[in-house]
Amino acid sequence: MSMSISNFHVNNEFLIFKSKYFMKAYLFPGQGSQFLGMGKDLYKNSHSAKKLFQLSDEILGFKMTSVMFEGTMETLKNTKYTQLAIYIYSVIKAKISNYFEPDMVAGHSLGEFSALAAINVFSFEDGLKLVNQRASIMQNICESTHGGMAVVFGLEDSIIENACKNDHGIVVPSNYNSPEQLVISGEIQALRRVCSFLKEIGAKKIFILPVHGAFHSPIMKPAQKKFQKIVNQIFFKDSKYPIYQNVTALPVIKSYDIKKNLVEQLTSPVKWKQSIKNMIAHGAVSFTEMGPGNILQGLIKKISKNSL
């Protein structure tokens, strides 16, 4: 039986009409969605939001609100501050929302922590501690290694995967963002060699990301071991809603599995494209982004076209 499909955006929400069932998915962004002044409007206009922002400052022991509201873009780009800012903003936005009623959720990299706090797998406070420790550990690894990341457009995944495999250095696929976009991570020299080769064989566009680390790659292995100890100290509940985690792209509800996947995420690729395809296959017809900006919306549009 054939089915007519229409797609459009409504208030930062991307709708896909393809069945009589209306399953709502909520998505939480990772690094790259930050902006100066983020959260200031929430702080001013919501008493509940203000209390959570103030609680964040108390827990962290410094004025994260000042970094977000009045800091410089250079400071905000620092991994330590970026991850905290996006987590705080995204979770508060979900907590004060009158329409946050998910049937399923997913978060892009760091966004998994925001998603889990929003659906009460762990508390806002515990999530903040996890993100703070994760960001510090990752920042330390970045400073002690020479890693980087690059976005590759216009080549099939298998071609990029083989190019990484065939290089003698450490370079791997790290973010399967959309059918047209795959991010690779690794040692700077290996990254440059692979990028050069991919340009020669027809990549439409390649650009090096402005980060100083090879996230979601084997270079993060030391961070993974340290982060495991921190995760083990936090109480996780089973989820009421399926969360499609980056490591497997499959729905998870058990706390044990959620913990395991969060730790593995540091060295494993973000299977975002695969997660969204699975959410659509499992009935998601609406995707709402709970975070600063709408960086995930363009990816959803490309992925959904490829899935329908």
Which residues are part of the catalytic machinery? 109, 216
Q: How many Å apart are CA 252 and CA 275, to the nearest integer?
A: 12
Give every strand in the sheet of 147-153, ordered side by side: 171-178, 181-187, 147-153, 205-208
Whether the Cβ atoms of residue 308 and residue 38 lie closer than 8 Å to each other: no
DSSP 15-40: EEE-SS--EEEEEE--TT---TTTTH
Helix (H) or strand (E) holding 175: strand 171-178
Q: How many Å apart are CA 258 and CA 303, to the nearest integer?
A: 24
Phi, psi dihedral angles at 289 (to 5 degrees): -90, 120
127: how many CB neighbours lie within 10 A of its CB?
21
**Quick one: tokens of 2?**
């054939």
Residue 95 exposed, middle or buried by CB count within 10 Å (0-12, 13-18, 19+) = middle
Q: Find the angle CA(172)-CA(180)-CA(36) to the nearest 5 degrees.
A: 85
**Quick one: tokens of 251?**
């729905």
**CA quadruple 193, 176, 111, 225: dihedral, nearest 10:** -60
DSSP 82-93: HHHHHHHHHHHH
182 DSSP β-pair partners: 152, 176
DSSP 240-261: SS-EE-TTT-SEE--HHHHHHH
DSSP-derived secondary structure letter, 267: T
Whether the Cβ atoms of residue 187 and residue 219 lie closer than 8 Å to each other: yes
